[in-house]
Structure 1
C-alpha cells in the first residue's frame, strides 16, 4: 500500500493518514484487511458512526479503505460500494423577535434602518 501511495505521489501526511486508518481497521477485526470484505467495512463504518467520529475522520477512513481495496488489492467491485458520509447540515441561528427589534434599532438614521428592515424582510440574511 505504501508503494502505491508513493507511486501516486500522495503527500506524506496523506500516506500516514491512510496507513493509520487501515491499521485501525485491521486492529478492530484482529485480522489482515485483505481477508475482510464489504460486510466488515460496513460494520466498521457503523462502529465509527456509533462512536460519533467526526464527519472528516469518517470520510478519511472511507478514502483509505477505498484506496486499499481498489488500488492496492485491485478489487474493483468493492470501492464503489463503500459509501462516503454525508456532509452534516447545520441549522441557521434564528433570532427572536426581541433580538431582531434590538438589532434594527441600533441602525443610525432612518434610511439605514429602512434598508436593514427591507433586507431582513426580504430574507437576505448572511
Structure 2
C-alpha cells in the first residue's frame, strides 16, 4: 500500500510505512499515524528517534494545553505510540503514553416540578 505524500520520505518514515503496511493498516489509519508523528517531530524539533520519556510526557501536556479535543489527542498519541512501539521498539517511551477518557454526558433529567411547569406553559 502506497501512501500519497507531500513530505519527503525519510528512512524512519519509510520504515514506519512498511511496518503499517505489514500489519495491514488501512489508508486512513496510516495517514492518521503519519500525521501524528509529523506533529510530534515538529513539536520536538528533531527526529523522534532521539525522543526521551520527558519529551513524550511534555508533548502530551502540550496537546492538552493547546486545547485539542480529547479524541484528537488520543488519536495523535495512538500514532506516536505505533511509531515508538513498533517501528522504534522504544517500550520505555511507550510506557509514558496515556489516554484520556471522554467525559460522559449526563442526560438532562427534569424534576417532577419542572415537568409540571413545562406542561402548564404549553398550549
TM range, smaller chain: 0.7 to 0.9
Instruction: Summarize deviations over 1:5-59 as a string: whole Å, max 9, x none.
Output: 1100001000000000100111112111111122111111111111221111111
Residue number among 12, 22, 27 corresponding to 1:7 in the alignment: 22
> 5+ residue gaps in structure 1?
106-126
Q: Does structure 1 residue 19 correspond to structure 2 residue 40?
A: no
Show the counterpart of 2:106: 91
CA RMSD of aligned residues (A): 2.1
Show the counterpart of 1:50: 65
Superposed displacement of residue 98, structure 1: 4.7
> 5+ residue gaps in structure 2?
1-15
3-state SS of 1:85 partner:
coil
3-state SS of 2:89 partner:
coil
User: What is the TM-score normalised by the length of structure 1?
Assistant: 0.74
Show the counterpart of 2:87: 72
Higher relative contact order (CA 8 A, sep 6+): 2
Residue number among 11, 31, 35 corresponding to 2:46 in the alignment: 31
Q: How many aligned positions are there? A: 106
Give structure 1 regions of 4+ aligned residues with deviation exceeding 3 angstroms.
96-99, 102-105
User: What is the TM-score normalised by the length of structure 2?
Assistant: 0.76
